[in-house]
Structure 1
Amino acid sequence: MIKLDAYVGRTVTAAILLVLLVIVGIDLLTALIDELEDVSEDYTFLRVAKYVLLTTPSSLYEYLPFAALVGCLAGLGSLAGTSELVVMRAAGISTRRLVWSVIKPALMLTLLGLCIAEFVAPRFQQIAESGRAIALQEEGKVHSEYGMWHREGDSYMHFNAVEAGGILHGVVVYQFGEGRELQQVLYAERASFSAGKWLLEEGSVSYFSSEGATKELYSQRAWDTELTPELLNILVLEPSDLSISGIWRYANYLQEQGVSAAEYELAFWQKILQPLAILALVLVAISFVFGPLRQVTMGFRVFTGVMVGIVFRTMQDMLGPASLVFGFEPLVATLIPIGLCLLFGAAMMMRRV
């Protein structure tokens, strides 16, 4: 039985990895073509290639559920096509045992994916986004197309680029009063974090009052803010690119500032429940092979897997934003597609076991 588990596991794992390699390769090629539109004297082709390669860990984790679905269909389908599954069942091996032999490698890949998403992908993505923003920013321009916004109390901040190690480029801080009147605009070409304090360099401060506006230039100036380099490394990334711990920390920070953290809560639940989503899709794939797809061609199995994956992803993409717009719990939006897949897969398997 150990040899059988290993054989089925190797077949399924190889199929999942092959599908993942193909999908991620296509995604990286598409990303490279998109980025070529921004190639310039500073953002060279080599920088574009570096940016795309650094986003690979994030792509691996993003497409792992889809690859698990199609890979299990292809791997099990190849065993069914050579009648090996029939021989195994005729030898007295139960369907439940075969299902467990398929789920084990999928779970191992899921755990590996979680490690990548928690410790590797956010770091690589942060380096990629920071390098891209620095290369694309225009010197002396107050707002960059590739910058980011942040709110802290009554202050609204914009950064053209965030560099690793606590360095900001193109800092603009808009300070509003209790009546939402603009009181102050602070600009700095660069900001650095050292010894627990922020230092602004080469900028100006404009003050606004009922009597008019005044402007003050400076070469260096202290900046009092609750932002830290760790929080900025989170800010530079999309919620889906953050680690689970990073999402949790930043969501708490936003709540302390009185800002809605629903988008980060949604990303948190999607990340933490992804193993369950992979298990649900694998169960659907297994139910198809033991059920209606046991005697069809490999191409049709792959096509079916792609269609199921698209439907699942579409449901996630629709319900997630809907929870933000209509105000229902992000956890519910995340669980609905997973629950439907689990129910469908379980119902199909109950008819075959």
Structure 2
Amino acid sequence: MRTLRRYLTGHMVAGWLLFATVMGVLLLLVRLIEELERVTDSYTTGQVVLHVLLTLPQQLLTLTPVIVLVGTLTAFARLEQLNEMTIIRAAGVNKARLLRSLMLPLLVLCLLLWGAMEWVTAPLHQWGEEIRSEARGNNTLEPGQSLWSRSGRTFYRLGRLGINQSPGDIDIFEFGPDHRLLRAIHAEQARVIEGRRWQLEDAQVRRWEAGELSLQRQPGLIVDRLWSRDELQRLLLGMDSMPPSVLYAYQDYLQRSGQSAHAHALALWNRLMLPLAAVGMALLALGLSVKPGSQRGGMGRQLAAGVLVGVLFYLGSQILVALGQIYHLPPLATAVFPVVCIFLAASVLLMRLRW
């Protein structure tokens, strides 16, 4: 059993690496051609190449189910054509034992993908985006651009973000139950102390009490429930720069503060479902490729079918995500539905497989 597992795993991993290399080279060329058009005196060719190389793993990760499908299909179709699967069947390996031999490598693949999303691809993507942002001088908020947040009846605005992620131009508006403005706070600079707690420097506090306006200055006003330092580093770079743990923490913060967290929750569940989709694609490829008595000329048709299934899955997932954002579909159901469809199709093929 152990020898069989190592043998099949070696062929699957070789297929995955081969197709991942092909897809990586294609993505690299496309991204380089696209990004080289933006070269300036400050954004040099070397920085363009470094940016593309650092952001490539995150983009390649989204194609993992397609890579696993085609790689697994190639491996098992090749083994079938060389009659090695016939030898495995003749040795008394039934269908259940074959599936059990694949569970461990697929489980390891899941763990590796989850670990890569958390500790490898997202930090690399953030690094690459920061290189481009600093080179192009966009490491601060654009003129007229602001970040807004809300906690209950209190609204927060961040109007400036310095090169070292130092916040500035902060406004806080507190409203009463009758929607009347009770207090307005403004500070030109602030310092993130820990977590979501900020210290506003030279804060100007305006209050409305009994129809009268009062102004008070507080040199070190402490305010809670703002953005954490980690979130400030990623908010301007997009959700691809956020690992799942940061996405979870931020969408939880948005929900607790009464804000819409639909987009972040959808992105989080799509990330978490990605390794499971890859496992489902591997099982689907097994059902498509392992066909006793298949002819040598059938390998091309099987690969074409696998590529078609992979492309349809990728396009369908992207369309479903877009529909989920437009119509505010439940994030968990939107992310799980394609994975369930893959496992159902794989189950039907495997049950009909004559072994």
Structure 1 counterpart of 2:142, which letter? H
* Deviation string, structure 1 residues 9-49 (Cα, Å, up to 9, x no partner): 10111111111122122212222221112211111111111
Structure 1 counterpart of 2:66, which letter? F
Is residue 2:13 matched to residue 1:6? no
- Tell me the SS of whatever aligns to 1:55: helix
The residue that corresponds to 1:313 in the other structure is 314
Is residue 2:148 matched to residue 1:143? no
Deviation at 1:158, TM superposition (A): 4.9
Q: How does 1:37-186 map to 2 (within 5 A)?
A: 37-137=37-137, 143=142, 149-152=147-150, 153-158=154-159, 163=164, 167-168=165-166
Native 8 Å contact 2:284 2:342 kept in 1: yes
- Tell me the SS of whatever aligns to 2:227: coil
Native 8 Å contact 2:113 2:275 kept in 1: no
Which runs of 5 or more residues in structure 2 are unaligned? 207-218
Alpha-carbon distance in 1 for matches of 2:292, 2:187 = 64
The residue that corresponds to 1:342 in the other structure is 343
Alpha-carbon distance in 1 for matches of 2:38, 2:45 = 10
Deviation at 1:238, TM superposition (A): 2.9
Deviation at 1:80, TM superposition (A): 0.8
Range moving further from structure 2, 267-276 or 39-48: 267-276
- Tell me the SS of whatever aligns to 2:42: coil
Structure 2 counterpart of 1:300, which letter? R
**RCO higher in structure (CA 8 A, sep ≥6):** 2
Deviation at 1:302, TM superposition (A): 2.6
Deviation at 1:298, TM superposition (A): 3.5
Native 8 Å contact 1:118 1:244 kept in 2: yes
Native 8 Å contact 1:126 1:236 kept in 2: no
Task: Tell me the TM-score normalised to structure 2 length.
Answer: 0.79
Structure 1 counterpart of 2:9, which letter? G
State the number of aligned residues.
Answer: 329
The residue that corresponds to 2:239 in the other structure is 239
Alpha-carbon distance in 2 for matches of 1:64, 1:123 = 18
Deviation at 1:134, TM superposition (A): 1.8
1:294/1:288 Cα in 2 relative to 1: closer, same or farther (>3 Å)? farther
Alpha-carbon distance in 2 for matches of 1:12, 1:180 = 64
* % identity of equivalent residues: 27
Alpha-carbon distance in 1 for matches of 2:30, 2:143 = 24
Native 8 Å contact 2:70 2:285 kept in 1: yes
The residue that corresponds to 1:210 in the other structure is none
Deviation at 1:62, TM superposition (A): 1.9
Structure 1 counterpart of 2:343, which letter? L
The residue that corresponds to 2:29 in the other structure is 29
Deviation at 1:235, TM superposition (A): 1.7
Alpha-carbon distance in 2 for matches of 1:180, 1:111 = 51
Native 8 Å contact 1:319 1:333 kept in 2: yes
Native 8 Å contact 2:291 2:353 kept in 1: yes
The residue that corresponds to 2:286 in the other structure is 286
Task: Tell me the TM-score normalised to structure 1 length.
Answer: 0.79
Alpha-carbon distance in 2 for matches of 1:340, 1:302 = 20
1:297/1:352 Cα in 2 relative to 1: closer, same or farther (>3 Å)? closer
Deviation at 1:103, TM superposition (A): 4.2
* Deviation string, structure 1 residues 168-211 (Cα, Å, up to 9, x no partner): 48x66576786899x999897x976568756789xxx9x9xxxx
Structure 2 counterpart of 1:83, which letter? N
1:143/1:237 Cα in 2 relative to 1: closer, same or farther (>3 Å)? closer
* Deviation string, structure 1 residues 137-196 (Cα, Å, up to 9, x no partner): 269x97269x88443453343557765xxx248x66576786899x999897x9765687
Alpha-carbon distance in 1 for matches of 2:201, 2:137 = 18
Which runs of 5 or more residues in structure 1 are unaligned? 208-219
Native 8 Å contact 2:77 2:290 kept in 1: no
